Structure 1
Amino acid sequence: MRTPSRRRPRATLAAAAAGTLLAPLLSGCWAGAGGTGSGGDAINVLMVNNPQMTELQKLTAAHFTKETGIKVNFTVLPENDVRDKISQDFANQAGQYDVATLSNYEIPIYARNGWLHEMNPYVAKDPAYDEQDVLQPMRESLTGDDGKLYGQPFYGESSFLMYRKDVFAAKGLTMPAHPTWRQVADLAAKADGARPGMRGICLRGLPGWGEVMAPLTTVVNTFGGTWFDKDWKARLDSPAFREATEFYVGLVREHGESGAAQSGFAECLNNMTQGKVAMWYDATSAAGLLEADDSPVKGKLGYAPAPVERTRSSGWLYTWAWGIQQASRNPDKAWKFVSWASGKGYERLVGETSGWSDVPAGKRASTYTNAAYRASAAAFQEMTREAIENSRPNDPGVQPRPAPGIQFVGIPEFTDLGTKVSQEISSAIAGRQSTDSALKKSQALAERISEEYEGR
């Protein structure tokens, strides 16, 4: 039994939180904000280089700036780079960037550390923004421990099961309306080899807390497992966590894609597009790519809810959202940008100028009642909405949790812990070690976090 004397005090833990988020940056020197900060009629926005964001960048000057007179200076970087730069600027409250793209993993942590501007007063004064139109799971995931809003979603996603309807029909297979993982495993075995070189299912095996650990953790949840119990005791060696991991590793090894240990979202997308797999469990955002006009599998796919075992639902919840830095020199102008970029009007603008399939969906109820969007995304829009609305970020399993999160644990240390555990799991998928060995090592890693948090 660990004694209280081994627990770190709250002040030390807060410092550790900032240190963990800044860890990738400590190998170099940082000399303050540098460059030119925002001011006057300009704001600085730091964002990830996803297609939806680059489309926003193209539309901003001709629409937002023209309407408001507020110039927006964008810095656009790949995901890993942008996370590092955001943590650097926000943790130091340097104020170089007014707004940044943050996920529902970071926002509660940043809010806890006082790095973000509360948004409730802006929402109250801006009824046209219609906060109640934002899907409830999104609102909850962007709320701090104090019950206040600290982010607004730009687009959101959950996870579901995608499958080849034509392959299932040819093999006489039927996808249940609400499949269990056991049923999925049986279908994967029967679909294996349905066509030359085709495997039954694609599941991520690539190391990374946001790669293999995202889908695997949803399986762990619905099998009855958890990373930590309500008292912060590490539970990676529990029977339920072990059963779920052995199931996942066994399924992908027996009926999964070739090179599974090196396969992430991009690789599974390619496998599905190229007809190399009959099923794929992953992000709902993949459907828009699979149903694109130039996709060879457009119209051939069916969609089912994330498979379950012991829970009603198991889909994850993720959003790229906007956060306003507490040290922003222009928070009012920053809110005007956020409310425009996440508002109903922006969705209409994208639909009318770029096409409704490009709308950053997954965040507003009104999107799913829009006739033009429903027609464009008919194959998957209803299933996507249901997946998001049925997600339970504060109650994803069968037991109370000490921190929010479905496919992650909402603590700063999870980026490092999840990555290290993912390397062990990926090694098991590759056949370099047993699942039992991988979990023993993973439990030891998680127990170090337990020592820091127990008794809080």
Structure 2
Amino acid sequence: MNMKTTILGTTVGFGLLVGLASAAMAEEITIATVNNGDMVRMQKLAPQWEQETGNTINWVVLEENVLRQNVTTDISTGGGQYDIMTIGTYEAPIWGKNGWLTSLEDGMSDDWNKDDLLPAIAGGLTVDGTLYAAPFYGESSMVMYRKDLMEKAGLEMPEAPTWDFIREAAQKMTDRDADINGICARGKAGWGENMAFLTAMSNSFGARWFDMDWKPQFDSEEWKNTIDFYLGMMEESGPAGAANNGFNENLTLFQQGKCGMWIDATVAASFVTNPTDSTVADQVGFALAPDNGLGKRGNWLWAWSLAIPSSSKKVDVSKDFISWATGQSYTELVAGEEGWANVPPGTRKSLYENQEYLDAAPFAKMTLDSINSADPQNPSVQEVPYTGVQFVAIPEFAGIGTQVGQQFSDALAGNQTAEQALENAQSITSEEMEAAGY
């Protein structure tokens, strides 16, 4: 049956009417995200979702520190700029508890499958049994190293190295004439940049941010040992200008063959082993984050996740996109386009049961072991009043952590001593916590 009607004197077919109606219902959503490799890939593949749904996306892609400042300001003021925000394991439970995020317990696509999420990752995005963010990828941290340089140094990387071994190896792998730095590690100031690395590292040295009375602990021997070791190691074997280097800068250095070792996010593994981007792709090995024999390793736990602020007026469309971007169909799309080794890691149990992925990703087991070994409930050797491995899960931490991070970045740059940085960190944290009423 050929159905037709007349619009303003023009006869049109039923199919065109459906198309016009779909176009009229199509919506544009605004997504704020971070400028790292996996999110750039998501942006590149998102036109498939746009074509399938008729909806469009306005992308706001920002550097990590800028993104955090931007979305925090917007959501805390109810600004309503974004329909979807890329947030982390730190923000999700705090913002969910404040009522700033939309629950993802319903309205997701039928095949999205919440039960398939790794418990360690989903737990950090959940408040009182309600999931407030969908993990795009999950990560811990580990050692990535050049097997050829390790062999040249006459050493063999243990699967579970100590910090002393890492420092010794870094010294032996450093070749200033060849522009090879034995160790690359974060130095750029930020609660999620250098303080993610240093807080996780400090856990393995027995340090903690606060004692059980919420008194800051930067005047402790454990923090002094952490910072002295870090600054000494970086001075001996780190790259020039390390105080300006965050995740992306160190990734570039490693891919260019200028790092013997890099301790950072497990998600970087696919980027350093991709021969298209990495000049040392065939020489990369992996090990657990270092320890000091105290029972804690210097690895963190994180997920970059997609969440819908309560201010969004386009919840249904936003849930549809999140279902697509964080579901198994997206994983299969990336695998088809760029190979199984490049799919977003660390979120779903099914991925680590997929033999195609395990065969393609030599870092898969190390990533899963690192994620499962992180303990947000008991992050340090000593008892603490907070949760969070590389952060303290209180609203004040973002501001305090960034200020403290600036002190340690300044020390790394040679602008002040370790003692001055620790003293300033203690003073800053004490004042902020007192003002906050702890």
Q: Distance in 2 between matches of 1:254 and 1:94?
A: 47
Letter in 2 for 1:176: P
**Cα offset, 1:43, TM superposition:** 5.4
1:99–1:322 contact (8 Å) kept in structure 2: yes
- Which residue of structure 2 lines up, in the alignment, with residue 435 of structure 1? 418
Q: Distance in 1 between matches of 2:387 and 2:154?
A: 41
Give the TM-score normalised by the residue count of structure 1. 0.82
**Cα offset, 1:290, TM superposition:** 1.3
From 342, 345, 352, give the equivalent of 1:368. Answer: 352
- Are 1:411 and 2:394 matched, yes or no? yes
1:242–1:439 contact (8 Å) kept in structure 2: yes
Paired residue secondary structure (1:400) = coil
**Cα offset, 1:266, TM superposition:** 3.1
Paired residue secondary structure (2:137) = strand
- Which residue of structure 1 lines up, in the alignment, with residue 142 of structure 2? 160
User: Unpaired runs of 5+ in structure 1?
Assistant: 1-38
1:317–1:388 contact (8 Å) kept in structure 2: yes
2:36–2:248 contact (8 Å) kept in structure 1: no
- Which residue of structure 1 lines up, in the alignment, with residue 430 of structure 2? 447
After superposition, give the CA deviation of every residue in 1:131-180 in whole Å (9 maximum; x if it has no partner): 23211221111123x34211110112211111111122223201122111
1:227–1:235 contact (8 Å) kept in structure 2: yes
Letter in 2 for 1:205: G
- Which residue of structure 2 lines up, in the alignment, with residue 129 of structure 1? 112
Letter in 2 for 1:300: Q
Distance 1:177 1:87, change over 3 A: closer
Q: Distance in 2 between matches of 1:191 and 1:81?
A: 34
Greater Rg, structure 1 or structure 2? 2
- Which residue of structure 2 lines up, in the alignment, with residue 19 of structure 1? none
From 252, 268, 272, give the equivalent of 1:290. Answer: 272
Aligned length: 411
From 200, 204, 207, give the equivalent of 1:225. Answer: 207
Q: Distance in 2 between matches of 1:316 and 1:196?
A: 32
Paired residue secondary structure (1:428) = helix
Paired residue secondary structure (1:100) = strand
Q: Distance in 2 between matches of 1:402 and 1:117?
A: 28
**Cα offset, 1:413, TM superposition:** 2.5
Distance 1:394 1:41, change over 3 A: farther
Distance 1:55 1:430, change over 3 A: closer
Q: Distance in 2 between matches of 1:117 and 1:196?
A: 52
After superposition, give the CA deviation of every residue in 1:307-349 in whole Å (9 maximum; x if it has no partner): 0122343311222111122233343443232222111111112
Letter in 1 for 2:321: F
2:82–2:309 contact (8 Å) kept in structure 1: yes
**Cα offset, 1:104, TM superposition:** 1.3
Give the TM-score normalised by the residue count of structure 2. 0.86
Percent identity, please.
39
Q: Superposition pairs for residues 111-150 of structure 1, below 5 Å?
A: 111-122=96-107, 128-144=111-127, 146-150=128-132
Q: Distance in 1 between matches of 2:371 and 2:432?
A: 30
Q: Distance in 2 between matches of 1:194 and 1:162?
A: 20
From 293, 300, 318, give the equivalent of 2:302. Answer: 318
Q: Distance in 1 between matches of 2:287 and 2:160?
A: 7
Distance 1:70 1:330, change over 3 A: farther
- Are 1:251 and 2:233 matched, yes or no? yes
1:164–1:302 contact (8 Å) kept in structure 2: yes
From 87, 101, 107, give the equivalent of 1:102. Answer: 87
**Cα offset, 1:426, TM superposition:** 1.9
**Cα offset, 1:285, TM superposition:** 2.1
Letter in 2 for 1:161: V
From 220, 240, 258, give the equivalent of 2:222. Answer: 240
Q: Distance in 1 between matches of 2:169 and 2:61?
A: 40
User: Unpaired runs of 5+ in structure 2?
Assistant: 1-23
Query: If each structure's strand is expressed as a fraction of its own residues, which one has the higher value?
Result: 2
Q: Superposition pairs for residues 7-26 of structure 1, below 5 Å?
A: none
- Which residue of structure 1 lines up, in the alignment, with residue 291 of structure 2? 308
Runs of 4+ in 1 over 6 A off after TM superposition: none
Q: Distance in 1 between matches of 2:372 and 2:241?
A: 34
**Cα offset, 1:423, TM superposition:** 2.0
Q: Distance in 1 between matches of 2:181 and 2:43?
A: 40
From 349, 355, 361, give the equivalent of 1:377. Answer: 361
**Cα offset, 1:212, TM superposition:** 1.9
Q: Distance in 2 between matches of 1:260 and 1:269?
A: 13
Q: Distance in 2 between matches of 1:259 and 1:234?
A: 29
- Are 1:55 and 2:38 matched, yes or no? no
**Cα offset, 1:454, TM superposition:** 5.4
Distance 1:418 1:88, change over 3 A: closer
Deviates more, 1:188-197 or 1:205-214: 188-197
- Which residue of structure 2 lines up, in the alignment, with residue 213 of structure 1? 195
Letter in 2 for 1:366: S
